[in-house]
C-alpha cells in the first residue's frame, strides 16, 4: 500500500498547514491536495481494474457523509466495514482532520466539508479515468457494480436513459444491476439494448423455465491476460423492491451458479476471474469463503468505502463506496492463472482539485439543462447537517418522517432505510435536485393507514432481522427502517421477534399498545396500487412552507448490544 502512504503524507502536510479548528480557505484552493497526488500510483502487473459502484445517478459533485453507525453482528463484529468514526481512522491509519479522514469517515464532517469541498461528479471522475487509461489503455477495464440508473431527478424523468448515455460516454466495460430493475422488466431490456457494453446478472433466472435471463460472464483480454468478469445482481431485488415490476424473474445468491460460472470461465482459459457483485459486502465476504477460484470481488450495494483490500483466502475484496465519491484502482500481476502481486488505491474524487473532463461535462450538462428550471428551484435552507446514511434514522430521514406526519396528519411515520441519499451541510440551500437525490424512485406514493402496535412491531422486527441476522445470506443490505413519531429500543444481538422493545408514542409519551390502532404514513411500499401523493412532492411542499430547516440527531432510538 505504498500509494496510500504517499497520499497520506500529502494530506498530513495539509493538516499541519491548516492546524485545527481554524476556518481558513479551502485546502483545495491552497493546492494542499492536487490532481497529481490523487493519481499517484505505482503500477503493477498487466491488468488495471478501475471500479466504482452505487453511483445512484449522481452526475454532479456533492457532499456525502459516511455512516457514524454501521454495526456488524456475529462473525463480522468489529471488522471493516463495521468500523466507524475514530475506530475507522485508527484501523486505516488516517489522521483526523485530513482529506482522507473527511472522505472516508463521519468525523467532524460539516467542518471538513467546508475545507475539502464537494466530492464526486462524473466529469471529475472521468478526468482520473482518462489519465489512467492514457498510461495503461491496453491494460484497463472499467467496471460499474450497479445502482447506476436510479437516484436523481434526471434519471427518474428519463427512466434511466440519462445514465445509459453517461456510462456509454464514460466507456464503461461492464455493469451489474439492482435498482435498474425498478424501471420494470420491459424498460430494463430497452435500456440494455442501448448499452455499448455487457449487462451481467448470472443469478437471475426466469420463473417458468428456470433459465438464465441475462449473460453471466463477459470475456476480455487486457495486457495479454485473459480476464473473465462474472456479474451478480442484487439477490433480493424482488423482496426489497417491487416484485410486480419484474414478475417473471427470480433472483437469489445462488453460490452454486457462481461456482459453475467460475469453473466454466477457467475451463475456457480465463487467467483472472473477477466477480462484479451487487451482493453487499458481508454477503461477498461469505461467498468468497464458499466459492473457489475467484481472484477479485468488486463489491457493491452496501455503500462501504474501504481504503484497503480485504483478503478472504485467495480472493481480494474491493469496496469503493457510493455516489461517485470514489474511484478504485486495482493493479494486478497475473502469473499462471494466479494473482502474484497487486497494488490498490481508493481515490476520493475531490472535485475542487480535479479539472472536469470537458467531454463528459458536456454530456452531464446536456442531460441536466432541459430540467434546470425544476431541479434548480430553491425550496429553503438548512441550518443543520442533513444526512441519511447510517444504520438508524439520519437527520434527512427525520425531516422526511416529520414531513409525512405533518402533511398526512399521522401519529407515526415510516421511511425506508435506503443507503443512498446525499448530505447537505449547515447553511446550504435545499433545492428540488436535493429532494430527488433523497427520494427519486418509481414507487413514491405516501400511504396513510391504520396499524396496530403489534403490526408496527412486526415491521420493525422484520427489517431489523434483514440488517442484523448473524448470517449475512439472510440480510438484505438496507439500513433500519426510519421511524417518526415513535421511539424504541433495539438489542441487535437478539433474534427476530425480541430485538425491539420500549416502543413509545412521542406525541403523548405513552407506551405503544399492541392491540391499539395508530395512524401511520410511509413511502416506498413495494405493493402494487399504493395510493397517496409522491414523497418528493410532499417533501418539497413541506420545505417550501418551513423555509428554514433545523433537525438535530435523533435521540429516540436506544441501541444496545453494539
Partner 1 sequence: MSNTNSQLVRMDRRTALKAAGAGFVALGFASTAHASPEAAAEALAKLSGGAAAATSDKITISLPEIAENGATVPVGITVDSPMTAASYVKQIHVFAEGNPSPETITFNLTPTGTADVNTRIRLSKTQNVLVAAVMNDGSVLTNKKEVKVTIGGCGG
CB of 242 to partner 1, least distance (A): 7
Is 473 a binding residue for partner 1 by CB under 8 A? The answer is yes
Q: What is the spatial distance between Cα 154 and Cα 430, in angstroms, rounded to a whole number?
A: 17
522 contributes a contact to partner 1 by CB under 8 A: yes
Considering CB under 8 A, how many residues would be counted as binding partner 1?
66
Neighbours of 457 (CB within 10 A): 19
Q: Are 506 and 486 within 8 A, CB to CB?
A: yes
Q: Judged by CB under 8 A, which of 89, 166, 229, 253 binds partner 1? A: 253
Q: Which is nearer to partner 1, 198 or 202 (CB)?
A: 202
* Near partner 1 by CB under 8 A: residue from 481, 500, 505, 512: 481
Q: In 3D, which of 337, 336, 345 has the Cα closest to residue 292?
A: 337
Least distance (Å) between residue 330 CB and partner 1: 25
Which region, judged by CB under 8 A, interacts with partner 1, from 18-26, 27-35, 59-67, 230-238? 230-238
Contact region for partner 1 (CB under 8 A) — 14-22, 90-98, 296-304, 332-340?
Answer: 296-304
| 80 forms part of the interface with partner 1 (CB under 8 A) | no
On whether the CB atoms of residues 250 and 204 are closer than 8 A, the answer is yes
Residue 38: all three cell numbers together: 490523487
Angle at the Cα of 133 (from 130 to 138), degrees rounded to 5? 155
Q: 205 and 213 in contact (C-beta within 8 Å)?
A: yes
Residue pair 410/485 in contact by the 8 Å Cβ criterion:
yes
User: Which SS3 state, helix, strand or coil, does residue 69 take?
Assistant: coil
Alpha helices in 353-440 (DSSP H): 358-368, 372-375, 395-408, 432-439
Q: What is the dihedral of CA 90, 92, 95, 99, to 10 degrees?
A: -140
**Among residues 116, 181, 183, 418, the one that binds partner 1 under rule CB under 8 A:** 418
Given 221, 462, 510, 550, the residue binding partner 1 (CB under 8 A): 462
In this complex, which beta carbon is closest to partner 1, that of residue 35 or of residue 449?
449
Q: Measured from the CB atom, is 53 or 127 closer to partner 1?
A: 53
Nearer to partner 1, 80 or 421 (CB): 421
Smallest CA-to-CA distance from 68 within 55, 86, 45, 51 is with 86
Candidates 489, 533, 546, 562; binder of partner 1 (CB under 8 A) is: 533
Measured between alpha carbons, how far is 238 from 251 in angstroms, rounded to an integer?
A: 7
Min CB(558)–partner 1 separation in Å: 20
In this chain, which of 30, 455, 501, 556 binds partner 1, going by CB under 8 A? 455
- How far the first Cα of the chain sits from its last, in Å, is 31
Q: Can you tell me the distance from the alpha carbon of 354 to that of 238, in angstroms, rounded to the nearest whole number?
A: 39
Residue 315 has φ and ψ, to the nearest 5°, of: -100, 135
* 411 sits near partner 1 (criterion: CB under 8 A): no
Are 499 and 459 contacting, i.e. CB atoms less than 8 angstroms apart?
no
Candidates 504, 411, 493, 503; CA nearest to 458 is 503
Q: Is 252 among the residues that bind partner 1 (CB under 8 A)?
A: yes
Considering the rule CB under 8 A, would residue 537 count as an interface residue with partner 1? yes
Cell 468500523 sits on residue: 83
Name the grid cell of 78: 468489529
Q: Which CB atom, from 61 or from 416, has the smaller least distance to partner 1?
A: 416
Q: Is 238 in the site for partner 1 (CB under 8 A)?
A: yes
- 351 to 390: interface string for partner 1, x by CB under 8 A: ----------------------------------------
Q: Where are the alpha helices (H) located in 440-561, listed in sequence order?
A: 453-468, 535-546
Compute the radius of gyration of the chain from its Cα atoms.
Answer: 23
Which secondary structure element, helix H or strand E, spans residue 130, and what is its range? helix 122-136
- Closest to partner 1 by CB, 487 vs 533, is 533
Binding segment for partner 1 (CB under 8 A), chosen from 74-82, 189-197, 379-387, 445-453, is: 445-453
According to the binding rule CB under 8 A, does residue 532 interact with partner 1? yes
Nearer to partner 1, 151 or 307 (CB): 151
Residue nearer to partner 1 on the CB measure, 144 or 479: 479
- All three cell numbers of 316, joined, read 481480494
Identity of the residue, 4 or 278, whose beta carbon is nearer to partner 1 in the bound complex: 278
Q: Which of 57, 112, 172, 451: binder of partner 1 (CB under 8 A)?
A: 451
Q: Which of 3, 48, 51, 241 binds partner 1 (CB under 8 A)?
A: 241
Examine residue 165 and tell whether it contacts partner 1 (CB under 8 A).
no
Considering only residues 302 through 341, tell me which ones interact with partner 1, judged by CB under 8 A: 302-303
Phi and psi at 208, nearest 5°, equal -80, -50
Contact call for residues 280 and 475 (beta carbons, < 8 A): yes
Main-chain phi, psi angles of 50, to 5 degrees = -105, 135
Q: Binding string, 487-506, against partner 1, x = CB under 8 A?
A: ---------x----------
| Sign of the four-CA dihedral 528, 189, 191, 346 | positive
Which of 93, 137, 268, 454 contacts partner 1 by CB under 8 A? 454
Task: Give me the residues that bind partner 1 (CB under 8 A), please.
Answer: 210, 234, 236-243, 250-253, 256, 301-303, 407-409, 414, 416-420, 447-452, 454-455, 458-459, 462-463, 465-466, 469, 471, 473-474, 476-479, 481, 496, 519-520, 522-527, 530-533, 537-538, 541
Amino acid at each position: 500500500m505504498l500509494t496510500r502512504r504517499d497520499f497520506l503524507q500529502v494530506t498530513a502536510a495539509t493538516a499541519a498547514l491548516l492546524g485545527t479548528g481554524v476556518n481558513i480557505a479551502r485546502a483545495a484552493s491552497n493546492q494542499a491536495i492536487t490532481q497529481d497526488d490523487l493519481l499517484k500510483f505505482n503500477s503493477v502487473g498487466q491488468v488495471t481494474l478501475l471500479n466504482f459502484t452505487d453511483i445512484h445517478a449522481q452526475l454532479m459533485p456533492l457532499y456525502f457523509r459516511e455512516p457514524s453507525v454501521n454495526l456488524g453482528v456475529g462473525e463480522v463484529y468489529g471488522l471493516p466495514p463495521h468500523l466507524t468514526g475514530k475506530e475507522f481512522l485508527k484501523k486505516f491509519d488516517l489522521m483526523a482532520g485530513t482529506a482522507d479522514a473527511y472522505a472516508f469517515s463521519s468525523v467532524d464532517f460539516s467542518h471538513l466539508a467546508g475545507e475539502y469541498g464537494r466530492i464526486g461528479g462524473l466529469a471529475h471522475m472521468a478526468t482520473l479515468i482518462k489519465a489512467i487509461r492514457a498510461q495503461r489503455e491496453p491494460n484497463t477495464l472499467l467496471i460499474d457494480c450497479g445502482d447506476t440508473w436510479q437516484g436523481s431527478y434526471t434519471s427518474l424523468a428519463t427512466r434511466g436513459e440519462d445514465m445509459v448515455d453517461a456510462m456509454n460516454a464514460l466507456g464503461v466495460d461492464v455493469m451489474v444491476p439492482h435498482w435498474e430493475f425498478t424501471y420494470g422488466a420491459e424498460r430494463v431490456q430497452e435500456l440494455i439494448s442501448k448499452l455499448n457494453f455487457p449487462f451481467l446478472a448470472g443469478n437471475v433466472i426466469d420463473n417458468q423455465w428456470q433459465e438464465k435471463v441475462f449473460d453471466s460472464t463477459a470475456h476480455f483480454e487486457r495486457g495479454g491476460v485473459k480476464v473473465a468478469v462474472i456479474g451478480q445482481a442484487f439477490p433480493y431485488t424482488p423482496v426489497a423492491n417491487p416484485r410486480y415490476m419484474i414478475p417473471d424473474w427470480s433472483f437469489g445468491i445462488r453460490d452454486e451458479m457462481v461456482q459453475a460460472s467460475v469453473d466454466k470461465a477457467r475451463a475456457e482459459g480465463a487467467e483472472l476471474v473477477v466477480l462484479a457483485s451487487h451482493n453487499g459486502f458481508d454477503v461477498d465476504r461469505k461467498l468468497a469463503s464458499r466459492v473457489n477460484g475467484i481472484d477479485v470481488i468488486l463489491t457493491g450495494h452496501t455503500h462501504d468505502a474501504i481504503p484497503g483490500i480485504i483478503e478472504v483466502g485467495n480472493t481480494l475484496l474491493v469496496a469503493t463506496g457510493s455516489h461517485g465519491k470514489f474511484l478504485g484502482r486495482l493493479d494486478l500481476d497475473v502469473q499462471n492463472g494466479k494473482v502474484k502481486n497487486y497494488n490498490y488505491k481508493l481515490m476520493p474524487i475531490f472535485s475542487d482539485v480535479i479539472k472536469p473532463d470537458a467531454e463528459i461535462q458536456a454530456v452531464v450538462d446536456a442531460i441536466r439543462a432541459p430540467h434546470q428550471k425544476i431541479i434548480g428551484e430553491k425550496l429553503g435552507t438548512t441550518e443543520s447537517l442533513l444526512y441519511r446514511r447510517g444504520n438508524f434514522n439520519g437527520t434527512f430521514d427525520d425531516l422526511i418522517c416529520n414531513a409525512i406526519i405533518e402533511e398526512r396528519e399521522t401519529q407515526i411515520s415510516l421511511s425506508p432505510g435506503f443507503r443512498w441519499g446525499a448530505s447537505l451541510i449547515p447553511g446550504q440551500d435545499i433545492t428540488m435536485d436535493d429532494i430527488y437525490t433523497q427520494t427519486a424512485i418509481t414507487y413514491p406514493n405516501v400511504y396513510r393507514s391504520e396499524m396496530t402496535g403489534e403490526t408496527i412491531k412486526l415491521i420493525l422486527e422484520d427489517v431489523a432481522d434483514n440488517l442484523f441476522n448473524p448470517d449475512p445470506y439472510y440480510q438484505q443490505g438496507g439500513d433500519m427502517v426510519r421511524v417518526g413519531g415513535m421511539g424504541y429500543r433495539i438489542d441487535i444481538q437478539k433474534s427476530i421477534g425480541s430485538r425491539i422493545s420500549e416502543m413509545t408514542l412521542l406525541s403523548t409519551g405513552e407506551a405503544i399498545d399492541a392491540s391499539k390502532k395508530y395512524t401511520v404514513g410511509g413511502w416506498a411500499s413495494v405493493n402494487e396500487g399504493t395510493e397517496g401523493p409522491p414523497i418528493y412532492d410532499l417533501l418539497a411542499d413541506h420545505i417550501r412552507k418551513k423555509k428554514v430547516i433545523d433537525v438535530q440527531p435523533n435521540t429516540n432510538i436506544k441501541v444496545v448490544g453494539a
